[in-house]
Copies of this chain bind each other. A is one copy, B any other.
C-alpha cells in the first residue's frame, strides 16, 4: 500500500530510533531485583535475555550466577543451597558464589569448570547488577536515586510488563498521556495542553511540564492538603540511564507567596530492566519529603500510584501486541513536538546498542555526559520528526 509523504519521511526517520528489535545495552547497571525478593530460596530471573539465579549467602550478601549448569544445562534454581554454595539438582555439581565448580560428585577433581557470576550492589530497597564486560563494572557509576537520601520516606514494588523496555522509557518521557491513559486515576484534562520545556544532553533527557492553575487528583491533593485549591503541579520526566527514569514532582498552593509554600515534593524511580525483547521487569521506588511519619499516607499513595502504573502496563502491552502484528514494511511512527525528549532518548539507546555491537564507531564516547544544545527535531510539514 502507498504511504503518504509524511508517513514515508517518518519511516525513514524511524530507522535511527531504538525499538523492539534493538539489541540490549550490556554495559550499564540495571536493577536485578527488589532486596526483599532475594533470599535463601534460589530465585530464577531472566535479565537482558540471560537466565540467572539469585540467592543470599549466610552473611546475607546477594549472589547472581548464570542459571545454567555448565555440565548439562540444568536450571540451578531447581538445585539446593548448602551454606554459601548452590548444588545442581541433576548431577550434584557444587558451585561457589563466584560460579566456580568446587565439587563433582562422580570424580575427585573439578578441573576449572565454571559459569559466569555477576557483580551485585545492594542499595536500599534494590539490588543492582552488572551484565556487561566484567572489567568495566564500577559501582561508582550506579545512578543515584535521590529519594533514598535522608529526609524521604519510600515504598517500592514490582510489575511484570509484557512489552519492550524502550516503550516504557518513552511513556515516561512524555506525560501528555496522563490526560488520556490515566483519565480515571492521576491524569487531568488540562495536563496534555500544559506548557513544557525540553532539555537534551548526550546521555540525559528531560521534559518539564507546568500545569497551573490546576486541581490536583486525589493521589496528590490528599497528602498535600491541596484539595479544592488552585494549585501548581510541576513535573519533570528525567531519563537518567537506560536502566532508570525518575519523575520529580512538586505541588503548591498558587494563593501562597513563594516564601510561604511548604516544600512538598515527590520523586518516583521507574526502573525498567529488560527481560527479553518483549518483556520487562518494571520496578518502582516511590518517595516523598513530607508527612514523613504518616504511614497511612504511604499506603494511600502507594496503592493509588500502582493502580495508575498498572494502566501503563496494560496500555504498553496493548501497544506491544499491535506492533507485533503490524510491524511490516509499511510501519511508521510520526513524532510530534512533545516527543522531542523521547526521540532523543530512543536515538541514544540505539546508538549505545550499535556501539556495543560494533556497528558504528564514534569519536565521542557514548557515555560522555557533556551537555550539548538540545537537538532541534527536523520537521515534515510542521510536525517534528527525528532525523
Contact = CB atoms under 8 A, between A and B. Distances in A.
A70 to B, nearest CB: 5
Nearest to A180: B92
Given A92-B179, A176-B91, A319 B72 contact: yes
How many subunits of this chain does the assembly comprise? 3
Interface residues of A, number: 67
A151 interface: no
A111 B382 contact: yes
A192 B92 contact: yes
Given A78-B318, A318-B75, A323-B73, A381 B334 contact: no
A2 B150 CA distance: 41
B71 A333 contact: yes
Contacts of A323: 73
A322 B74 contact: yes
Given A90-B180, A177-B90, A181-B90, A73 B319 contact: yes
A28 interface: no
A6 B113 contact: yes
Given A4-B112, A90-B177, A112-B4, A336 B75 contact: no
A335 interface: yes
A322 B73 contact: yes
Interface string A359-387: 00000000000000000000111110000
A341 to B, nearest CB: 12
Given A106-B337, A180-B91, A111 B383 contact: yes
Nearest to A101: B334
A121 to B, nearest CB: 20
27 contacts: A1-B116, A1-B133, A4-B112, A4-B114, A6-B114, A10-B70, A46-B325, A51-B325, A68-B326, A70-B333, A71-B333, A73-B322, A73-B326, A78-B318, A90-B177, A91-B192, A91-B338, A92-B192, A104-B336, A105-B193, A106-B193, A106-B196, A107-B337, A107-B338, A112-B383, A113-B334, A113-B336
Enumerate the 8 nearest inter-chain pairs by beta-carbon distance, A residue then B residue, closest first: A105-B192, A111-B381, A111-B383, A106-B338, A111-B382, A92-B180, A106-B176, A112-B381
Interface of A: 1, 4, 6-7, 10, 46, 50-51, 67-68, 70-75, 78-79, 87-92, 104-107, 109-114, 116, 133, 167, 170, 174, 176-177, 179-181, 192-193, 196, 315, 318-319, 321-323, 325-326, 332-338, 379-383
